[in-house]
A and B are shown apart, each in its own frame.
Chain A
Amino acid sequence: MAKLAFDTGGTFTDFALLDDKGDLHLHKVLSTPANPAEAVVRGVSELLGQFGDVVDLDGLQVLGATTVVTNAVLERKGVKTGFISTAGFQDMLRIRNEGRYDLYDLNLKYPDPLVTRANSFGAVERISADGEVITALEEDTVREIAGRLRKEGIRSVAVCLLHAYKYPTHEQRIAALLREENSDIFVSLSSEVCPEVREFDRASTTVVNAYTRPQMSGHVAHLEREFAAKGINRQVLWMTSSGGLVPSSRAAELPVRLIESGPAAGAVAAAEFGRIAGEGSVLSFDMGGTTAKLCLIPNGEPTVGTDLEVAHYHRFRKGSGFPLKIQSIRMIEIGAGGGSIAAKNPLGLLDVGPRSAGAMPGPAAYQRGGTEPTVTDADILLGYMGTESFVGGSFKVSKEAAQTAMTKLAASLDVSVSRCAWGIHDLVNESMSKAAAVHATDLGVDPRSLPMVAFGGAGPVHAYGIARKLGIKRIVCPTGAGVTSAIGLLIAPVAVDLSASLPMQIDNWDFATMDRLLGDLAAQGAEVVRAAGVAPETITNTYTVDMRHVGQGHEITVALPDRRLPPRQFHEELLGNFYKLYRELFGRTVAGSSVEVITWRLRSSGQKDQVTRPHTRHAAEAKKGSRSVYFSERNGFVETPVYDHYKVPVGDEIQGPAIVEQRESTAVVGPSGIAHVDINGNLVINLA
């Protein structure tokens, strides 16, 4: 069965087609931000035009990753949205959690809520923490709100009532009433979008869902129409932030879960590249123009967390955006990429970022108006990136322009140009390796034990330096580094993540309640997964729980033991899982304190797929030439051979220092590295 994946990004929409014979074809077209579906349709038409004879449309499965949701929020281009909460709490979106993300910045701000105060309403009702109806829902107040929504022309509304994560009846009734009054309204209920305790986080998540839903629904409908016209009738499957695929119907209802769609696909791909390179756990490192993403992938599976945040007012300052309580692949985003600007700070020290030259004006070397030196300029001056073969030679860059920009900064710091360029490169590597170390230790893993999978335009350029700092011994640079996320889509399983908060102490356990809750989750999960075409007998259910000591405020996620175990053994195993992880993370355990579950989680999934791309051996000479490249181990520049990644014969050893170029990326092999291309076409660098 053939698969066709598309990944809508900011600049390009990437495609990967796996045809009926198992061959992989890659493609790229310019994105069409005004209507992202246009680029998708064009790319699909082009690919099918070329390879239609090896693709049976009846069996073709289309898969998508998208920035539609993220961009709607970042660019504030969602629809006019309403918000309904329990009367007396309608200001929740402005009140937030009352903390500050920066201690010393008196001019701090948060992004304006996506719903204005004027469009935030209170419904008269109240349910207590243990489910008692303190105030019955006054339906007239809801009908009145519906009238005001209509008058304001609001088509999408988020509803978040107190304790609805556990007692959703009032929310459900409000949805029914709103639909009675306004038949075409989109209603997002917090109890459906994010049934988890803590009202502000849940409201924030529900609002982002409501804000982006009409757009995502339109996008999904548009594509289904276009694909149907081509004879493709299967539902499109979409990548969620947690690395699983869901059918169009769910993607259109819960777009907030697609907010990290592209990066999640990248992480899934990295896991697969690591696996086919024979590695179990890997550190994935994706560095592009403005940001880098680091993701620890233990045992071939990215870990999934629930603390996401978008639309930071202060770029990359945690706490300055909208919190989202959705399952998403745990990764760290670092505000440094090729476009990050280097400058002298008030203390006279060198700073890199957080300002970025972005795509426009871009690095000084691009000669599009950028005059400040960036990381890319440093990488060019150090010889890591060539000027001839930039993006396959289709893009001209100027080393002189980079030199001019760098000279100014070097003079102001009173260091040489090469020292300055190396300083920038090294400082970026330092922040990446620190982020990687904190990310790994957060998950209780020693980063030195892991191989690194490096991709994205700048990933393989910086991987060697970062690996040396972290003590990492092996780097894998996959083929097709430019379309990694699209490849990830081909591999990802159908999967849906569900959760429910219901605090339960070990000392006061209620198996009947637990069974009912898990049964509900499993039924919901099966419904979605089956809708995506997964056979019921192949569904895997994985249960986890968020636990803590009673009295703590931070939960850790552990596996729930097999429900068929006898009660005592079940508890012993559960506590064992908890204490083991607790000790790994925090280096200690706490004696004599009770333990409780706060949130229950289920992942229902189908099977994972595989993609391999055999390396084709070229007759041509792999070495394309040489250039002068800086290595700190050699205290200066050395003449270094340059190879074409795709022409290097499988298994041949390349002793560093060396440069190995792909179309959109360049791998640096330092003096203590030895590289080879493996049977699957990945460049593997072993560090001494």
Chain B
Amino acid sequence: MSVNAADFNDPINLQVMWNRLIFIADQADIVLGRTAFSPIVRENHDYVTVLLDSRGRALAQCTWSIPVFITSLPVAAQKYFLPKFPVETLEEGDVLATNDPEIGTGHLPDVTMITPIFKNGKVVAYAGSIAHLPDIGGAPLHSEASDIFEEGIRFPIVKLHKAGIPNQDVLDVIAASVRLPTEVMGDLESMVAANNVMGRELLKFLDEYDLDGIDGLADAIHTRSEAQTRRAIRQWPNGTYTAEVLLDGYDTDVTLKAAVIVRDDSIHVDYAGTSEQVLHSINCRTNYRYAHSVYALKCLLDPDTPNNEGCITPITDEAPLGSILNPQQWTAGNSRNLIGHVIPSLIFKALEGVVPDKVMGDSGGAPIWAANCVGRRDDGTQYGSVQNFHGGQGARAEFDGLDTLSFPSNCRVTAIEMFEITVPALTECKELIPGSGGAGKSRGGLGQRVVLRNLGRNPMNIYLASERVRHPCFGVVGGKSGSAGKVSRNGEPQFPKGKVVLKTGDRLEVETPGGGGWGRTSERAAASIELDLAEGLITPAAARQIYGYQRSSVAATAAE
């Protein structure tokens, strides 16, 4: 029905068709998100739906996604799925899936699923999805583990459905290995349904435009996007830009080092000098690391173009084998985000001299803090639910950082009222920490203080994920650090990771870190300092000591 439908280089045709492909991924996103049981899937949007072309290259991705998924599906498809199951081994109705962290996103709860889309008996594309299952057996999320085998079951790439028939043997093994079989099976079904929606809608699209396949369209999308990314890279001077950051690690400090090498129209990030892998669940595999490298650079280079293979091709990265950013296969990695989430801040720091107006201070949301509360209610029934807490966003050149914001992930927190219905924990307070944002021309966002109290008669096990307790979030372009995070139990210092037991009436107190500042404190506008004082976001003492602000009170200012 459209004029010159086959001309993919027509600027109007391409836009219309491209938008439609994204829309197809978004339709699948709705199906997956609304039917999922996993709280992490639905509250944190810890899943993705992606359309891949016949070569497994990313074509369109659901609009709402998180960084880990920027690159994971196409890499998994090209490196593992298609080699293991070439087209001649596939038939209509097949569904391929695995939860191998090396193939997928670096931890066992995430299942990667790929469904071939057939037209006239030929595979024309693949529908892909990844979702975080509510349980995968093994130790609870954020508990301690020293290798991957403690963290749950692992199934290699298998046909979860064969020609439309569920592979019951595999499904039975999975169901028998997890704590929440109904929910896990339900979520796997949601993924199958989401992939089917993409297949159905893509076929409708192909019919409408009278196309036999999408590879030509894919080439056009990839070419334009890649050219745009390369054009943006060429604006940056060639050079090697370095930064390093010190993190708390599990029990000993971890150093992350990055060298961002800009060469003409491509970028390579080298993490040589980064600490070695550890015997805890914070090892961060290649896929996860690469996704965060690409994410940080995309934010700076081309935040507007919808993500696809073309945006990522000009960017590569590497880390030494055996380092915490490229660990050996047997290592544990359930809480790999505690390390991986800091990568974007590290890259911003490295580039503060190259694009000072675009980089952002280090964020207190990197990483997400989480309390996985597990125990039995007074009536003996089991509960288990995760609550997340974020620190303040890093400051931007133009704006102060936002308070309590998820970055680089994107995770809405569970309403306290909903959490308290599920878990017998009383949230005693959830409030901003004045003065916690790093000072600068722009100020970092504020962290928060939260106190949880066990209301139940039985002990509550909390598996805690945290970072930046010993090493706060740094500023950029001369901005100051935010305040560090803090964890205590009944007012006494508490080891900030792993299992914490709360007896009846015990309290866990957490303070998330403030975001780092941007630019020199001497350049902060007096009006901004006065507003911060009026709103109680900084203390009068800090105004004097850090910013050298002279006037004694806001009232005095107002009176002038």
Contacts and interface: CB of A to CB of B under 8 A. Distances in A.
Contact of B428 (A88, A107, A199, A349): A88
A627 interface: no
Contacts of B429: 87-89
A94 B3 contact: no
B426 A128 contact: yes
A593 B186 contact: yes
Contact of A107 (B33, B399, B412): B399
B303 interface: yes
B313 interface: no
Contacts of B14: 349
Contacts of A554: 33-35, 42
Nearest to A423: B12
B11 A348 contact: yes
A50 interface: no
Contacts of B19: 430-431, 434
Given A434-B19, A552-B37, A588 B193 contact: yes
A99 interface: yes
Contact of A95 (B2, B11, B190, B432): B432
A465 to B, nearest CB: 11
Contacts of B186: 549, 590, 593
Interface in A412-454: 413, 415, 419, 423, 426-427, 430-431, 434, 437-438, 441-442
A163 B20 CA distance: 43
A688 interface: no
A98 interface: yes
Contact of A346 (B197, B304, B360, B432): B304
Given A349-B11, A593-B186, A98 B431 contact: no
A366 to B, nearest CB: 25
**B2, B186, B535 pick with most chain A CB within 10 angstroms:** B186
Given A430-B19, A585-B34, A586-B31, A90 B228 contact: no
Nearest to B449: A88
Contacts of B10: 415
A598 to B, nearest CB: 9
Interface in B12-49: 12, 14-16, 18-20, 23, 26-27, 30-31, 33-37, 39, 42-43
A57 interface: no
Contact of A347 (B183, B305, B448, B536): B305
A587 B196 contact: yes
Interface string A90-104: 111011111110111
Contact of B35 (A434, A503, A588, A592): A588
Interface residues of A, number: 76
Q: Chain B contact residues (Cβ within 8 angstroms of A): what range?
A: 35 or more
**A129, A134, A200, A345 pick with most chain B CB within 10 angstroms:** A129
A245 B537 CA distance: 44
A438 B23 contact: yes
B431 A88 contact: yes
A430 B420 contact: no
A426 B15 CA distance: 11
Contacts of B65: 103
B36 A350 contact: no
Nearest to A135: B428
Contact of A503 (B196, B305, B415, B421): B421
B19 to A, nearest CB: 7
B430 interface: yes
A126 B358 CA distance: 44
Contacts of B207: none
Contacts of A415: 10-12
A641 B472 CA distance: 72
**A98, A126, A441 pick with most chain B CB within 10 angstroms:** A98
Contacts of A107: 396, 398-399
A339 B421 CA distance: 48
A100 B405 contact: yes
B416 A99 contact: no
A180 to B, nearest CB: 28
B183 A593 contact: yes
B299 A106 contact: yes
B129 interface: no
A103 B365 CA distance: 14
A109 B30 CA distance: 25
Contacts of A134: 426
B199 to A, nearest CB: 12
B13 to A, nearest CB: 9
A551 interface: yes
A419 B12 CA distance: 9
A91 B436 CA distance: 15
Contacts of B43: 553
A635 B27 contact: no
B455 interface: yes
Nearest to A592: B182
B390 A632 contact: no
B66 A103 contact: yes
B509 interface: no
B100 to A, nearest CB: 26
Nearest to B410: A100
A391 B184 CA distance: 59
B417 A162 contact: yes
**B12, B305, B390, B410 pick with most chain A CB within 10 angstroms:** B12
Contacts of A95: 403-404, 430, 432, 448
A565 interface: no
B343 to A, nearest CB: 15
A197 B418 contact: yes
B16 A430 contact: yes
Interface in A464-521: 468, 503
B403 to A, nearest CB: 5
B34 A586 contact: yes
B358 A198 contact: no
B463 interface: no
A590 B412 CA distance: 25
Contacts of A624: none
Contacts of A104: 295, 298-299, 303-304
Given A107-B396, A109-B402, A350 B15 contact: yes
B388 interface: yes
Contact of B12 (A162, A426, A438): A426
A559 B390 CA distance: 39
Contact of B3 (A118, A591, A593, A632): A632
Contacts of B20: 430, 434
Contacts of B1: 468
Contact of A103 (B35, B42, B64, B302): B64
A199 B11 contact: no
A118 B534 contact: yes
A616 interface: no
**A116, A347, A419, A592 pick with most chain B CB within 10 angstroms:** A347
Interface string B450-465: 0100010000000000
Given A126-B428, A437-B23, 10 more contacts: A88-B431, A98-B365, A99-B406, A104-B304, A118-B535, A126-B426, A200-B415, A349-B15, A553-B43, A554-B35
In the A-B complex, the 5 residue pairs with the closest CB atoms: A88-B429, A104-B303, A423-B12, A99-B412, A553-B42
15 contacts: A88-B431, A89-B429, A95-B448, A97-B415, A98-B411, A103-B65, A103-B66, A116-B535, A134-B426, A197-B418, A349-B18, A426-B16, A434-B19, A551-B37, A554-B42
Interface of A: 87-92, 94-100, 102-110, 116-118, 126, 128-129, 134, 162-163, 165, 197-201, 344-351, 413, 415, 419, 423, 426-427, 430-431, 434, 437-438, 441-442, 468, 503, 549, 551-554, 582, 585-588, 590-593, 632, 635
Interface of B: 1-3, 10-12, 14-16, 18-20, 23, 26-27, 30-31, 33-37, 39, 42-43, 64-67, 134, 182-183, 186, 189-190, 193, 196-197, 224-225, 228, 295, 298-299, 302-305, 358, 360, 365, 388, 390, 396, 398-399, 402-407, 410-413, 415-418, 420-421, 426, 428-432, 448, 451, 455, 534-537
